[in-house]
Structure 1
């Protein structure tokens, strides 16, 4: 059962982010067909992730009320509706509405899949389980970067959106049949507050994603425009970078599970530093296609490892409030994504140089590494507690280690 939950979560989380990557990979096609600028493309991507942050704020209460299973199904329904809008009214306004709706759903599926995986697996397997789930993002990037640029160049963006709607429907059905309910019990006791200083995780996530999101959304345009690679070749290189990144990502997660809870956060710091090194390579030698591809592989593998272990570190820091802790971290995660893509596009448009934009990203990621180091004393990260395992049928609140998240109520209470 646990493997099936992780597999469905893998696909659900990857597909949830599809609109942002579709817009990025189809950037040249959308510019030609709809007259969009690079800044407008960046704004659309950024708005989606900003809306995802809003979705994360709402996700705690929604997941508590309807459970992880139906939260993921709801996300897929929102995604289908979102992708339909540009087909009915092509243009920037419809694309803007699309990314807002899809972003809210993506925030919901982020928290819901964290809850589902944590409920289905024992604590000693959280590192690998959450890393595998997170790998859904590069998995979708690999597939879409291989297929979408070539299809878009030949047939336009509309067939890509139609196909994605069909896939979303299939994933929604799979989620309804597979994922655990994992909702909070009506008889549960009072909610446990987040550990003191937990806001540092929110800040660290903001800086990490603010400085690293362009390695996904801007990879194809960067390789095409800065290194001279053709659009199909840029898609293939991006796919190779994403696929190659999965091996070190999962290997690091396995090592982290073996080393124990207390070692996860230092590994996040080290991986974040490697992301900065990869982006530094892009800033220094970014005009060369080989150096560009190598920098993307290095940065992508380290970034995915850092993000997956960040999720595991958050679970360890707040084992009695997993859903709420995930939501708070994801708010920072997508706040970073809100400004990252449009800022990157604005820097390129303003300076005419991708190198300057990659240098700006490198600085933000270096700040993220320092902030993650600052998080070491939060909650139980230094204690490696044993958290009772929960069956996938367990309801939230029936066990003191189960996810208890109500971000809205905590916000009103001033926590």
Structure 2
């Protein structure tokens, strides 16, 4: 009897979550974590009229959200190492849900800003915790695929939001859209808490922290330019279609939804390809994808001359290559710093979300000043070309030894 009692006590109460369940949970977590950074762009026309604010101020909501994520990314890596991936990812969802409720209840621009700060800080927790969780659960030969599936949570969320949010806001109200977002974030938080494990980096298990590779800051710079040059495709194309090409809100949202869904498929296929290419060729793949994104922005610019169909082609191509580049970027971070995933993710995502802070507000402000979208799209094109060079330099960083 004692023997069987000892055996029962030795069995852990919570079995290890399956690899697929962990990836699915991380996918849902990052998708909902980014939701408040995308919804204002999809509701730009309604918010502008209801709150009596300019495009630049709507862009500022988006920029502050991702800027707060950037500022919180380095501390988020430390918190994940201390408290574990499960707790930190769950807190992310609770903060997004709480911010959404505050925004819906108080119905003011000031609360949108406060909600963006709180929700954005929470999203930083989600990025680092999900990277650590996947870094522990998925072997290197399947890691790019896993990171691509995880990152696909963002375009999946964007697909649904772009297709439904403008329509729902016109039929009911934008406040109900944000309340629904809070409910989904809370459900995702519960799922995350059940599925994820309390993974931490080696620095919290008694081993001395491993220094990051020399010149790793180039990942932060390259990530800044990557998102700075590609985020407007998500944040501003819907309003560009409505205001410059006179497209109905439902059609504009539908076009974005199709582009986002196509991007998910391309992202996952790219993840499979990136795994086959191996770690050494992942950064050159990012450079190729960003070059194609630059071409797609050129097609979007031609929309005012050729028509809506060329914008659809450019948007679909641009969103697909952007998403594929982001998924490959996350895998490349772990390739270069496999022993310091939390800190490496923190540095990379600080640059990434600071880029997301500057671009939406800057894009909208330039539109307000010039009364045209053309100059903003040209600036976006220039940033993407610069990003290719920055990723070339990041590829020269020497990886940590396993």
Return the TM-score normalized by structure 1: 0.90
Give the 5 Å matches for 1:65-80: 65-80=82-97
**Partner secondary structure for residue 200 of structure 2:** coil
**Residue 169 (str. 1) matches residue 186 (str. 2):** yes
* Counterpart contact for 2:22–2:133, Cα < 8 Å: yes
Matched, 1:209 2:248: no
1:15 Cα deviation after fit: 0.6
C-alpha offsets along residues 282-322 of structure 1, whole Å, 9 cap, x if unaligned? 12334521111111101101111111111111111111111
Other structure's SS at 1:193 match = coil
Q: For residue 390 of structure 1, what is the aligned residue in structure 2?
A: none
Aligned length: 383
Distance in 2 between residues matched to 1:105 and 1:314, nearest whole Å: 21
1:44 to 52, 61, 65: 61
Give the Cα separation in 2 of the matches to 1:303 and 1:244.
12
The corresponding residue for 1:188 is 206
- Match in the other structure for 2:291: 273
Give 1:104's aligned residue. 121
Unaligned ranges ≥5, structure 2: 1-17
Aligned partner of 1:361 among 370, 380, 398: 380
When the two chains are superposed, the root-mean-square deviation of aligned CA atoms in Å is 1.3
Please name the residue that 2:23 is paired with: 6
Report the equivalent of 1:26. 43
Are 2:273 and 1:218 aligned? Answer: no
Q: Distance in 2 between matches of 1:336 and 1:198?
A: 17
TM-score norm. by structure 2 comes to 0.93
Alignment match, 2:264: 246
**SS of the counterpart of 1:380?**
coil
Q: In the TM superposition, what are the counterparts of 1:184-333 in structure 2 within 5 Å?
A: 184=201, 186-286=204-304, 288-333=307-352
- Alignment check: 8 A CA contact 2:104 2:176 kept: no
Output the CA distance in 1 between the equivalents of 2:87 and 2:239: 36
Which segment is superposed worse, 149-158 or 186-195?
186-195
Q: Deviations over 1:221-250 (max 9, x none)?
A: 111112211001100000001111122221
Query: Helix, strand or coil for the counterpart of 2:101?
Result: helix
Give the match's secondary structure for 1:189. coil
- Which residue of 2 is the match for residue 395 of structure 1? none
- With 294-303 and 241-250 compared, the bigger mean Cα shift is at 241-250
Deviation at 1:197, TM superposition (A): 0.9
Match of 2:391 in 1: 372
Q: Map of 1:370-409 to 2, 5 A cutoff?
A: 370-380=389-399, 387=402
For the residues of structure 1 that align with 2:147 and 2:253, how far apart are their CA atoms?
A: 27
CA distance in 1, matches of 2:89, 2:192: 7
C-alpha contact (below 8 Å) 2:32/2:154 kept by paired residues: yes
User: Does the 8 Å contact 2:81/2:201 carry over to 1?
Assistant: yes
SS at match of 1:213: helix
Cα distance 1:184–1:199, how it changes in 2: closer, same or farther (>3 A)? closer
Residues 5, 179 of structure 1: 8 Å contact kept:
yes
Q: Structure 1 stretches of 5 or more lacking a match?
A: 388-415
Label 1:246 to 1:286 Cα distance change in 2 as closer, same or farther (>3 A): farther
